[in-house]
Structures are given as structure tokens and as C-alpha cells.
Amino acid sequence: MRTAFKVCVVAIACAVVAQAEDKSAKPPEGFTSLFNGKNLDGWKSTGKAEQWAAEEGVIVCKGGGGGYLLTDKEFGDFEFRCEYRWGKAAGNSGVALRTPEKGDPAYAGMEIQLIDDEGWPGKLADYQHTGSIYDVQPAKAAANKKIGEWNTVRIVAKGRKVTVEQNEKELVNANLDDYEKKFEKHPGLKREKGFIGFQSYNIRVEFRNVYIKELK
């Protein structure tokens, strides 16, 4: 009887842990899920498509060479949320905003940098740290979780304002018109809408709870 009771307790505990791990049941109120949890319908790769996959309810970038995984739909003003985690140290990725289908999103659109700030083997420029608008607006110091743990991202693009939060800490609050000198190199700063997506750069990175709310 005691053995059966112990087994029951362990099973309940495991179920609770599993439920806590997967807190993605449905989008927050007012948001739409961009990922169905099963396949990459609604997404397209700009590089090697085989580097992208849907596995156990997460979007997986297996490594470099996959370019960007972009939404099929364009978005203008929005609040975007997702979670990401690295498979091991020294990961590098990013979130593309308002990007056209062709061209480097870091310039043709905007790229919000995601990187293992502590584990990156070389010295990073100030605009290369997590949360930065790449090569445009440096971010405040990020509060990264340990490798293997999930980090949250919240990005709001409303007109000329872009704010970026990671793990509920604001890293960037930018007015794009303040960077007029960057417009020639970064024409994407002038775009009003475009695709959203994730960057394939070097190692495995996973994304889940990918939600968006379009703003009026």
C-alpha cells in the first residue's frame, strides 16, 4: 500500500512539474499565437530550411545556415512576446522586426539581438548585447538566465517607438527618429511594417510561447 501511495505521489509531482514547465497552453488575452506547436505552417526560411524544425512544442533552430525563419504575414505596430533558451554556451541569435523578405534584417529591417553575453568568446560591441537594436541602440545590461533555462522577451513596436524587455527588465526604449544618421546604412529603421522572425547564427536555440498582439 505504501509503495502504491509513493508511486501516486511521484506521478502527481511529475504532472505538476510538467505543467509548470509548459505554461504555454493558450495565448494571453488579446494575443494570437504565431506557432501552432506542431509544425512550421505560417513560417518561411530565408536559408537552409532543414535547420528549422518544430519539436515537442518548440521552434528549434538546429544551428547556423538557416538564415531567418520569418512569418508569412507582415506586421506594423505590435506587441511581440516569446521565450528562448540556448542548448549550450556561446549562442547567438536575434529577433527580426519589420523586415522585408530579402536582405539582411539587421539592416533592411531591424534586429533585436539575443546572445549569450557572459559566454561569448570574444569582446562584444555595446550594440551587440542582448536586447540591443543591432548596430543602432545599445541595450542596458541583460539579466540572462542560466544556459538551458527559458528567457522571456517582450518587444513593442508602435510607430517610431521600440521598447525591448528581457525577463521583465526594460533594456531598450528608443525613438527611431533619433537615429537619422543611421538611416542610410539601416533603411529598415524607416519601414512601417514587415515580417517578424528568428535568426539562425551558430548553435541550437529554441523558441516557444510565440505570441503577437497587433496595435492600432
Domain ranges of the chain: 26-214
Q: Are 90 and 203 in contact (CB under 8 A)?
A: yes
Q: Please state the rounded mean pLDDT for residues 103-126.
A: 97
Average pLDDT, the chain: 91
Q: Please state the rounded mean pLDDT for residues 128-133.
A: 98
The model's pTM:
0.89
Let me know how many helices (H) and strands (E) the chain has, helices first. 2, 13
Report the run of H or E that residue 14 belongs to, with start and end.
helix 2-21
Overall fold of domain 26-214? Jelly Rolls (2.60.120)
Q: What is the pLDDT of residues 171-212, one digit of tens each?
A: 999 999 999 999 999 999 999 999 999 999 999 999 999 999
